[in-house]
Structure 1
């Protein structure tokens, strides 16, 4: 299917690539279908692009590349809603607030996007902990592109 995207122009997307967010994303509850498109060749940054709304796209990354100590537990209701059978089925992404200059970009560690990769079901989970916030510096004091 053809998809008009915010950052990649028109793209051909295979329907099996579509990730279902049954309850949408907080603030975008009617947006229930997204695709993940690479933003950079090194596969560090991606675009979580809405299938329904071409202008709705989030820059995301694997938080463990930047915060190796990042850790949280999913509640049983979330595990059930995502139909998770094992940790190996999970992919975690976090949404970035991109700033200029890029080294000032922040990452939302309080609300990760959790994806059941084989079943293409996802949910943005809001963590009720004091440890994580919506605006952590992505690079802290690291040079751009280094793993954390």
Structure 2
């Protein structure tokens, strides 16, 4: 099927790769179908693109690339909605807020996107009782050049 996209223009996508967000995404509850697209010349970031709304595309990444100790437990309701995937069937992404300069970019670690790879069901979950933030810096910050060592 052909879709219009925010970053890639009009493209052909495989309908079998469509991710189904049965409850939408918080703030976009009418948006139920997305496709994951590569971000050209960047292996760390991808675009979570709505198949319905061309201008709705989120830059996402695997949060474990930037924060190895990232860890959380899904509530049973979310596990049930995703149809009880095994650990090997789950992929986690975080929505990014890309800034200039790039090292100021942040990831929403408080609301990860969980995908069941076996059936393409997906859900953005809100983690409660956590210290994770919605604007977590993803890059190690440069040393202050005025500091004396």
TM-score normalised by L of structure 2: 0.92
Q: Distance in 2 between matches of 1:98 and 1:43?
A: 15
Q: What SS does structure 1 have at the residue aligned with 2:60? A: strand
Give the equivalent residue in structure 2 for 1:4: 4
Give the equivalent residue in structure 2 for 1:104: 104
Q: What SS does structure 2 have at the residue aligned with 1:60? A: strand
Q: Distance in 2 between matches of 1:42 and 1:27?
A: 27
Give the equivalent residue in structure 1 for 2:136: 136
Give the equivalent residue in structure 1 for 2:125: 125
Q: What SS does structure 1 have at the residue aligned with 2:35? A: strand
Q: How far apart are 1:92 and its partner, in Å?
A: 0.1
Q: Distance in 2 between matches of 1:140 and 1:131?
A: 19
Q: What are the superposed Cα offsets for residues 90-142 of structure 1, whole Å, 9 maximum, x if unpaired?
A: 00000001111111100000000000011000000000023101001010337
**Which has the greater radius of gyration?**
2
| Runs of 4+ deviating beyond 2 Å | 40-43
TM-score normalised by L of structure 1: 0.92
Give the equivalent residue in structure 2 for 1:39: 39
Q: Distance in 1 between matches of 2:48 and 2:60?
A: 7
Unpaired runs of 5+ in structure 1? 143-148
RMSD: 1.4
Is 1:70 the counterpart of 2:47? The answer is no
Unpaired runs of 5+ in structure 2? 143-149
Q: Distance in 1 between matches of 2:71 and 2:129?
A: 11
Q: Distance in 1 between matches of 2:19 and 2:83?
A: 14
Give the equivalent residue in structure 1 for 2:61: 61
Q: Distance in 2 between matches of 1:130 and 1:16?
A: 35
Q: What SS does structure 2 have at the residue aligned with 1:44? A: strand
- Aligned partners of 1:84 and 1:90 also within 8 Å: no
